[in-house]
Amino acid sequence: MPVEQEYLTKEKFEELEKELKSLKTVRRKEIAEALEYAKSLGDLSENQEYQEARDSQAILEDRINRLEIILKSAKIISTQSANFVAIGSVITVQKDSDQERKSYTMVGSEEADARNGKVSTRSPIGLAAMGKAKGDTFSFDTPNGKMSYKIIDIK
Contact by Cβ (8 Å): 9, 16: no
Q: What is the pLDDT of residue 43?
A: 77
Q: Is residue 67 part of a domain?
A: yes
Spatial separation of the C-alpha atoms in residues 2 and 149, rounded to whole Å: 33
Query: Is the pLDDT score of 81 beyond 80?
Result: no
Query: Is the pLDDT score of 89 beyond 60?
Result: yes
Average pLDDT, the chain: 89
Q: What is the pLDDT of residue 71?
A: 93
Examine the fold and report which residue of 52, 76, 100 is the final residue of a domain before the chain moves on: 76
Domain residue limits at 54: 6-76
Number of folded domains that form the chain? 2
Examine the fold and report which residue of 33, 53, 76 is the final residue of a domain before the chain moves on: 76
Q: What is the pLDDT of residue 113?
A: 92
Q: Is residue 85 part of a domain?
A: no
**Both 62 and 117 in a single domain?**
no
**Both 69 and 94 in a single domain?**
no
Spatial separation of the C-alpha atoms in residues 107 and 52, rounded to whole Å: 35
Q: Is residue 83 part of a domain?
A: no
Contact by Cβ (8 Å): 39, 50: yes
Interval 93-133: pLDDT, tens: 998 878 889 999 998 888 899 899 999 988 999 999 988 99
77: left (phi over 0), alpha (psi -120 to 50) or beta: beta
Q: What is the pLDDT of residue 153?
A: 93
- Helix intervals (H) in 23-117: 28-40, 48-73
CATH of the domain at 42: 1.10.287.180
Interval 14-25: pLDDT, tens: 999 999 999 999
Spatial separation of the C-alpha atoms in residues 147 and 2, rounded to whole Å: 32
CA 80 vs CA 107, 148, 153: distances in Å: 12, 24, 14
Backbone angles phi, psi at 18, to 5 degrees: -65, -45
Interval 56-66: pLDDT, tens: 999 999 999 99
Q: Is residue 84 part of a domain?
A: no
CA–centroid distance for 2 within its chain = 18
Examine the fold and report which residue of 76, 101, 136 is the final residue of a domain before the chain moves on: 76
Query: Residues 26-37: what's their mean pLDDT?
Result: 94
